């Protein structure tokens, strides 16, 4: 049984769930709109350029979770799923997940986006195994602090290794699908690295290494 590992944002989804959550908060009037939109874009640009300070980003992104009761956060998250996530689930991504399941492979989503946002997305995609940046929750209230190693760049490799030790899985004949240059450390670890609608840096690297390059975006016939 092989592992089929998937990045989430701009891989299985056609957009970035972290960024869209920020937009959703602005639209709902839950944050200072002009400031939050500006900072959200700044961090997203840094991510795409491969220079994101993950701890500064998490301090920014997790702060709204500390400002509201969990019950309200869950209600907003359900609305977010319907309005922002459902429209960006790629049919070809669903088909690819099913292809691996049919082969007997074990799907695993690994994402830098925090687990508050991504847990229901993984559930919607039918993927039981999720490695995401974890968020501290004490007495039913988020503290705004990440738990353990953020699941980003080399941190994805570290979190995956921990998961492999805990579960008994291994990387023999493994797959990893991603769009991002930030995932080069993990792509180097698997048997079958696959660039999915890759950014410019990853596309160049994949071509040089002879890695597969695919698209899961719908295109006109």
- Facing residues of 108 across strands? 5, 129
96 lies in some domain: yes
pTM: 0.95
Q: Which of 118, 119, 128 is CA-nearest to residue 97?
A: 128
User: Is the dihedral angle over the CA atoms 87, 92, 93, 95 positive or is it negative?
Assistant: positive
DSSP 182: G
34 lies in some domain: yes
219 lies in some domain: no
Question: Which is the catalytic residue, given 7, 16, 18, 105?
Answer: 7
Assign residue 87 the CATH number of its domain.
3.40.50.1000
Domain count, the chain: 1
3-state class (DSSP) for residue 194 = strand
Quick one: pLDDT at residue 1? 83
220 lies in some domain: no
CA distance 132 to 54: 13
CA distance 195 to 207: 9
| Residue 16: φ, ψ to 5° | -105, 115
Cα–chain center distance at 10: 8
50 lies in some domain: yes
51 lies in some domain: yes
Quick one: pLDDT at residue 16? 96
221 lies in some domain: no
Quick one: pLDDT at residue 219? 54
Q: Nearest 5 degrees, angle CA 182-CA 79-CA 141?
A: 75
CA distance 197 to 189: 20
Q: Is 7 labeled as catalytic in the residue annotation?
A: yes
pLDDT by 10s per residue, the chain, length 221: 899 999 999 999 999 999 999 999 999 999 998 999 999 999 999 998 999 999 999 999 999 999 999 999 999 999 999 999 999 999 999 999 999 999 999 999 999 999 999 999 999 999 999 999 999 999 999 999 999 999 999 999 999 999 999 999 999 999 999 999 999 999 999 999 999 999 999 999 999 999 999 999 965 33
167 lies in some domain: yes
CA distance 189 to 157: 8
Structural domain of 130: 3-214
Quick one: pLDDT at residue 159? 98
| Residue 33: φ, ψ to 5° | -55, -55
């Amino acid at each position: 049984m092989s592992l089929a590992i998937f990045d989430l944002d701009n891989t299985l989804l056609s957009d970035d769930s972290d960024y869209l959550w920020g937009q959703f908060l602005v639209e709902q009037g839950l944050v200072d709109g002009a400031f939050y939109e500006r900072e959200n874009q700044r961090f997203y640009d840094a991510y795409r350029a491969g220079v994101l300070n993950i701890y500064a980003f998490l301090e920014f992104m997790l702060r709204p979770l500390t400002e509201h009761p969990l019950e309200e956060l869950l209600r907003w998250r359900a609305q977010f799923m319907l309005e922002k996530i459902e429209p960006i689930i790629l049919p070809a991504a669903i088909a690819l997940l099913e292809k691996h399941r049919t082969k007997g492979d074990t799907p695993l989503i690994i994402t830098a986006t925090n687990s508050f946002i991504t847990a229901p997305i993984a559930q919607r995609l039918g993927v039981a195994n999720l490695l995401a940046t974890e968020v501290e929750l004490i007495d039913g209230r988020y503290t705004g602090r990440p738990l353990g190693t953020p699941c980003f760049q080399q941190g994805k490799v570290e979190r995956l290794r921990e998961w492999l030790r805990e579960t008994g899985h291994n990387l023999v004949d493994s797959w990893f699908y991603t769009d991002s240059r930030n995932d080069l450390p993990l792509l180097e670890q698997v048997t079958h690295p696959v660039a999915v609608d890759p950014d410019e840096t990853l596309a160049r690297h994949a071509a040089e290494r002879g890695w597969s390059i695919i698209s899961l975006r719908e295109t006109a016939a």
